[in-house]
Amino acid sequence: MKTLDRYILKDLALTFGLGLFALNFVIMTERVMRITMVFAQVGASPWDFVRIILYLQPQIAVFTTPLCLLISVLLVYGRMNADSEVVVLRTSGMPLMRLMRPALIMGIAATLLGYSLTFYLAPIGSRYIGALITQVLRERAPYAISEGLFTTNFPDVVIYVRGKPEPGKLSGIFLYDTREPDRPRTLYADRGTVESPDGLNLKLRLLDGQMHLGAKKPGDFTTVFFGRYDLSVPIPMRAPVLKHNEHMPMMLHTYAYLQPPGRERQTALIEFHERFMLPLLNLVIAVFGIPLAMMAGKTGKLLGLSLGLVVFATFYAGLAFFEGMARASRVPAFMGPWVPFIAVALFALWTYRREAAH
């Protein structure tokens, strides 16, 4: 590898690494907030949150890698263009393809990284997050009920307690249970206890209270007074924010065709195709990034960066549009990810040929 390649690659790798760290941190904050809502009230340890952050990195990096590569290419080659380094190299007879070689090497490396993330590391990270959340909820489910707050961590059950005089003891209990939609139950109790002996169910023992049973006919209900009432609430076994992320691509494809025709199948198939498309986007970015940086001319690297971000935002807008069409079954599932990709690939080819002809 020649000195020029090492010089450009060093700048590209440094800018790419810093950008990946910054973008992952920003996006990770939003993801962590969503997952934290699942078990924020159960007293998860700092180490649990650290593990969540680590397990989230592969999922986030799948989407941030292309943008970070684009930013690094535009900044590095934009600076070289503004400093007339590109002009000197081109006038000395260096073809555009030779000048693009370091960016293409970075694009190939980012593509391989993307496939390792989306095929292997991201699904493993998703499964670890699901297992961690399940473990925390099983071990500390009784602590999920906080005094003075409505607890909605348990499916179809809302719990409110006025106070917790001792660990495992409750006072002023209100519970609304809609697990049987035709006969919802509303319970009040002066006091009670909570425990989770098997790690699978929350065991509530309500003392000195009353229960109102709904009926199919509006306005009809039954009131039952009790001295003791035992209630079992299942602890959620899955993190609702993970959905298909824990599936390997081939498993995801099989899962899709096990579903009846409809939105669920379309969503799984769209994600299957998206996992193949996103890593390839890195190669396309390596092709059109340099021509965009050169289009800025002497106006500086920020114009090239702005043009690149506009193209990237347009690509994701098209991706969202066509994936929405595919989810609604208006177009085949594969068109959701691949139509925007083909469009941006044609744009990359046009920019390359335009710049190479100069």
What's the pLDDT tens digit per position in 58-100? 888 888 999 999 989 988 888 888 777 877 887 788 888 888 8
Instruction: Give the per-residue pLDDT at 189.
Output: 92
Q: How far is CA 76 from the centre of its chain?
A: 29
Residues of the chain with pLDDT under 70: 1, 31-32, 34-44, 137-139, 141, 198-199, 215-220, 236-250, 253, 255-256, 296-302, 304, 358
Q: Are residues 172 and 162 in contact, defined by beta-carbon separation less than 8 angstroms?
A: yes
* DSSP secondary structure code for residue 238 in this structure: S
* DSSP secondary structure code for residue 44 in this structure: -
Farthest CA pair distance, the chain = 93
Question: In degrees rounded to 5, what are phi and psi of residue 254?
Answer: -65, -45
What's the pLDDT tens digit per position in 207-250? 999 998 876 666 667 888 999 999 888 876 544 444 445 566 66
Q: How far is CA 254 from the centre of its chain?
A: 22
Integer distance in angstroms from the first to the last C-alpha of the chain? 26
Instruction: Give the per-residue pLDDT at 187.
Output: 92
Rounded-to-integer distance, Cα 39 and Cα 34, Å: 10
Rounded-to-integer distance, Cα 200 and Cα 240, Å: 17
Three-state SS at 271? helix
**Edge-to-edge, what's the strand order for the sheet holding 157-163?**
150-151, 157-163, 169-177, 185-195, 201-214, 221-234
Rounded-to-integer distance, Cα 48 and Cα 46, Å: 5
Instruction: Give the per-residue pLDDT at 249.
Output: 64
Instruction: Give the per-residue pLDDT at 241.
Output: 41
129, 177, 321 from 298: Cα distances, Å: 48, 67, 35
* Burial (CB count within 10 angstroms: exposed 0-12, middle 13-18, buried 19+), residue 46: exposed
Instruction: Give the per-residue pLDDT at 279.
Output: 92
CA dihedral 103, 104, 109, 114 (to 10 degrees): 100
Instruction: Give the per-residue pLDDT at 246.
Output: 54
* DSSP secondary structure code for residue 121 in this structure: I
Question: In degrees rounded to 5, what are phi and psi of residue 224?
Answer: -125, 125
Angle between helices 335-356 and 301-327 (to 10 degrees): 150
pTM of the predicted model, to two decimals? 0.72
DSSP letters for 147-209: BTSEE--STTEEEEEEE-SSTTEEEEEEEEE-SSTTS-EEEEEEEEEEE-SSSSEEEEEEEEE
